[in-house]
Each structure stands twice: as structure tokens, then as C-alpha cells.
Structure 1
Amino acid sequence: QNRTLTGTKFPYLMVDVLYIKARVEQRVLSQSCHIAIGITEEGDRQIIGFMLQNEESHETWSNFFDYLKNRGLSGIKLVISDAHKGLVSAIQTSFTHASWQRCQVHFMRNILSTVPKKGSKPFREAVKAIFKFSDIHLARKAKSALIEEYADQVKYQKACRTLDEGFEDAFQYTVLGKSHNRLKSTNLLERLNEEVRRREKVIRIFPNTASANRLIGAVLMDVHESWISSPRKYIQFESN
């Protein structure tokens, strides 16, 4: 939580929040745990910080980002996250020269959740095919073709509108100098959250926030050590 980040540039930042329950002044309250993973220019992954707060909002995310920057976080080009409004606005104000990559997994779920399951298989398959492209120009063509085919059908109008409005944010990873499919979603962080959950669910309710901080910190330290000791790169960037 306090180690310096100075000296290492993290062009790619992946962030998410998970909730735990802890006793606060004798009441059981939900606490938000903000977590950040940084990916270096060489493609190495590190857990660079976490912070327990009372909620997920623009203010708590801004507070978390200030905490990271005060420890020396620099060089951010792309922030990968879900589309929580408070988080997105905090990214825009805290990292003014960075792009926001909307997690494609969350985005696709948002699109398909508006479509009835019955009789929609061709549409669903067409949506999924769009997100298999790593070339934004090809993805745009596929998106335009889908909207042209389905936008006049009432049951697909909301899905088409959602796809059209969020499309560019979901493909920002492709317009950087170095793009990689692992930068298009928060899957890495989702798996990390699952590891924390596996240990946290045994306790269910922490006696206080300090004990929650210690256990979550211990889990994250173990994972972080295994990552940085591995000779394998998380991302093998191709030469431009």
C-alpha cells in the first residue's frame, strides 16, 4: 500500500472494486475495496495498490487515483475498467491524457441483456463476432452492418443504440501504438477478485476494517510476488 511507484512507468492501468462486509462502530456495513493492477511497458503485471472505502463513487475513485499518483504512478496511456459513471468521470479528471478502455466483457453483457433470448441467436452471434476483431476499422464495418440489419426491429433497437453509443470506448486498446487482446477487458482483475473472494468468504464478516485490510493485503501480496517472480511476460507486445 505504501511502496513507491517512482521509477516504473505503467502505461496500462486496470481497476475494479469489490465489496466486503465489516463491523464499523458495531454496525455491519458494506465496504468497497478499490484495486489497481499496472502493466509495464515491458508487459509485466503488478498489483500497485488497494484501498478500503465506504462506497464506489467519483469521489472515492478520485481519492484512490490521487493515492496512486502521490506514490509515483506515472505514464498512464490507457485505463481499463467497467462503465460505472463515477469511475469513468474520475478517470477523465485524474488521467487527462489517458484513454479509457471500456471492458468488452461487461459491455457485451450490457448489450445482450436488453435482447430477448428467444429467437435472437443470429443477433447475439453477430454481436459477439464484432468483439473478436482487433482491427477497429473491421470492427466498425461489422458494427455498421449489424445496426443496418437490425435497428428497424423493435426488440433490437435498444441493443443497437447501446452498441453504437459505447463502441468507440470499447476499442480504444486498438488505437494505441501497442495493442493486445488482453487489454480489452478486466478479466485479469476479475480473476484476482475471485482469489480474494475465496479467502474472504470463510470470514464472511470482518470484525473491523483493519482486519479486512490485513487479509486482503496478504492475499494481494502473495499474488503480486508470484507475478513478479515469474519469468513469463503477461503481455508479449509485437514490434510496431
Structure 2
Amino acid sequence: DKKTFAAVLKEIWLAPSAETARKRANDLIDTYAKRFPKAVACLENGLEDSLSFYSFPDLDARKISSSNMIERLNKEIRRRTSVVGIFPNEILTSVWSRLI
């Protein structure tokens, strides 16, 4: 039953609009309130905050649901700094340390 609950929960944030997401959340709350009261209470408390991304126009959900772009940037910075080895002066060291 937990797998079903998790699948239904995930569908809330895959909804095409905020209204649909709210309807899915309300359906989940009605269905699972007695079975998973703590999870449902947590959902009720944070639902509106978690749906705020719907206010942005035409966002690709794949880009905002993952930190892959940030991780890729950090990997590239590490790759480039390892080639440099020791920085020639204190200013460059300071610049790179702030970027990382």
C-alpha cells in the first residue's frame, strides 16, 4: 500500500496545472488520511509551497526537479582547477575559491 501511496503522491507534482495538482492532493488526502495521518498532515502543511513552481511560465519540469545542471557545473570547475594545479597568485586562488 505504501508503493501505491508513493505513486499517487508523485502524480500530484506531475500534474499539468496547479488546479489539477490540488485536486489530486485533495483526492489523496481523502483516501489516505486514516492510513497515513502523518504523511497527509505534512502534505497539507506544505502543499501550497510545493506547488509554487506552477506560477512560472513554461518551465521544463525535468530541469527543475533535478540538480544535474549544478552537479555538472561543479564537476567542470573541479576538472579545470585540477589541471591548473597550484594557482600562480593569491588573486586567482581567491577567485576560484569563491566560484567553488
Cα deviation code 1:33-89 (max 9, x no counterpart): xxxxxxxxxxxxxxxxxxxxxxxxxxxxxxxxxxxxxxxxxxxxxxxxxxxxxxxxx
The structure 2 residue matched to 1:134, chosen from 3, 16, 24, is 16
The structure 2 residue matched to 1:191, chosen from 65, 69, 82, is 69
What is the CA–CA distance in structure 2 between the aligned matches of 1:162 and 1:215, rounded to whole Å?
Answer: 38
Q: Which structure carries more relative contact order (alpha carbon 8 Å, separation 6+)?
A: 1
Which is richer in helix? 2
Q: How far apart are 1:215 and its partner, in Å?
A: 6.3
Alignment pair present for 1:214 and 2:93: no
Question: Over the residues paired in the alignment, what is the CA RMSD in angstroms?
Answer: 3.5
What is the CA–CA distance in structure 2 between the aligned matches of 1:141 and 1:122, rounded to whole Å?
Answer: 17
What is the CA–CA distance in structure 2 between the aligned matches of 1:128 and 1:164, rounded to whole Å?
Answer: 15
Aligned length: 92
Residues 124-203 of structure 1 aligned to structure 2 (within 5 Å) = 124-153=6-35, 156-175=36-55, 179-182=57-60, 185=64, 187=66, 190-200=68-78
Gaps of 5+ in 1: 1-118, 220-240
Residues 1-240 of structure 1 aligned to structure 2 (within 5 Å) = 119-153=1-35, 156-175=36-55, 179-182=57-60, 185=64, 187=66, 190-200=68-78, 211=93, 213-214=95-96, 217=99
Cα distance, 1:186–1:141 mapped onto 2, change above 3 Å? closer
Gaps of 5+ in 2: none
* Residue type at the aligned position of 2:32: Y
Q: How far apart are 1:147 and its partner, in Å?
A: 0.9
| TM-score, normalised via structure 2 length | 0.65
Which is richer in strand? 1
Q: How far apart are 1:127 and its partner, in Å?
A: 0.7
| TM-score, normalised via structure 1 length | 0.31
Q: How far apart are 1:168 and its partner, in Å?
A: 1.0
